Amino acid sequence: MFWAFFLAPSLRSDSDSELSPSDSGEEDDEDELEEEQKGKKEDKENVKIPRTPSKGLSAALYKTPAKKSKSTPEPLNQPSMVEEYFEAHGSSKVLTSDRTLERLHTPKLDRETLVRLLEGKPSCYSKEIQQLHSKHQKHFSKWMLQLQLGFSVLVYGLGSKKALLEDFRVSHLSQEIHLVVNGFFPSITLKSILNALTCEVLDHQGSFRTPSDQIQFISQTLKGPDLHVYLLIHNIDGPMLRGEKTQSALGQLASLPNLHLVASLDHISAPLVWDQFKQSQFNWLWWECVTFQHYTEETSYENSLLVQQTGALALSSLTHVLRSLTPNARGIFKLLVKFQLENKDNPSYTGFHFRISNSRSAGLCKLRCSSHLFDSLQGGDGVEYLIVAVDASTLMDFLENEAGD
């Protein structure tokens, strides 16, 4: 038993040795299968779970700037973006032209000379302009009918409409009670329009506390079926008539059954002053009346670079305002002008204190004059003093013209 165990041949033959080709080939196949299986597993892992870079690598690739703390002061010598902008643009030299009107050898003209020269050169299209004017005149009867039906007529278009509306007034309103308002006048106010309606048209001699009282009086007076008043306003969009209160008051007047409104406008944005409520009050019928006529009278109260600035403009404005006042008001104003000219060299002269007597006409004169021609000053004693807001030379010319008339 002992020898049998010890001398027993090995169960493995020579053909089954480690160097056997069949055995080594099988092991190689097994190794290849294992490697393929491992490769497939790695591919699956790569697909399912993408590898992310380490924290150190991500920090190096996607490093965000550190936030500045509010308490950290900025360097004093470092300029801000605003300072850099103004330094870059402030040093650049601004180039302007020196070819101004002052360099012209021809001196500036006075207004009369300029008007005479412009009138001496007729327009090249005077025939066509006259044809347009005649075309618009054919609509006058329609305007009159629309006014009587309760509408208000509003004419617009390029060119002055003053001559056209004047022809309408002469041809259709000469036999009617009417009032003409020049809205382009620089001193026109709502108070002057209401005063003209109540005093000159309706012959009222009293005074009113507020414009609302005047409108109420006009409304009560015009309730009669036989009394009709026509109000013609040149440039209802004038600078002095664009205010909210003025347009609201004019809308109330236009809504009265026996007051008929005809107006013109020239500003391209003029309809913006009327909201839907005011539009319903005015009840406009829009007429396009392109005339291509010059705005001679509308711009006569404006300063021009071609005209020498004198007191002629102030004198014409003063004369125009005085023509709209009553004879009593004009007489009082002349006395005040003479009193101011007598004290023009007196350094202690601060104006005159208007004392209103019991006469209603005196109070009316003060109301109608103060808003146009006077500036009010507060004296040291707390009393209100008035001065005529025109220079002395213009006042002297005014008195000379009135004496000549």
Strand partners, 156: 288
175-225: per-residue pLDDT in tens? 999 999 999 887 788 988 998 899 888 888 888 888 899 999 999 999 877
- In CATH, the architecture of 116-288 is 3-Layer(aba) Sandwich (3.40)
Q: What share of the chain is helix, strand, coil (3-state, %, to 5)?
A: 50, 10, 40
Residues 309/172, Cβ–Cβ less than 8 Å? no
CB burial of residue 352 (10 Å; 0-12, 13-18, 19+): middle
Residues 158/291, Cβ–Cβ less than 8 Å? yes
DSSP secondary-structure letter at 352? B
Amino acid at 170: V
Global pTM value: 0.56
User: Tell me, what's the pLDDT at 327?
Assistant: 74
For residue 74, the SS3 value is: coil
Q: Take residue 350 and report the two structure tokens written for it.
A: 């601060």
324-376: per-residue pLDDT in tens? 666 777 777 777 788 888 887 777 777 766 554 444 444 444 444 444 556 66
| Cα angle value 382/387/388 (rounded, 5°) | 160
Percent of the chain with pLDDT over 70: 60
Cβ partners under 8 Å of residue 304, min gap 6:
114
CB atoms within 10 A of CB 304: 14
Residue extents of the structural domains in the chain: 116-288, 312-404
Amino acid at 373: L
CA torsion sign for 169, 173, 175, 176 is: negative
Whole-number Å distance between alpha carbons of 211 and 190: 8
Q: Take residue 66 and report the two structure tokens written for it.
A: 């550190």
**What is the arrangement of strands in the sheet containing 152-156, beginning at the earlier edge strand?**
177-182, 229-234, 259-264, 152-156, 284-288
Tell me: pLDDT of 392 over 70. Answer: yes
User: Tell me, what's the pLDDT at 290?
Assistant: 94
Residues 249/197, Cβ–Cβ less than 8 Å? no
Tell me: pLDDT of 57 over 50. Answer: no
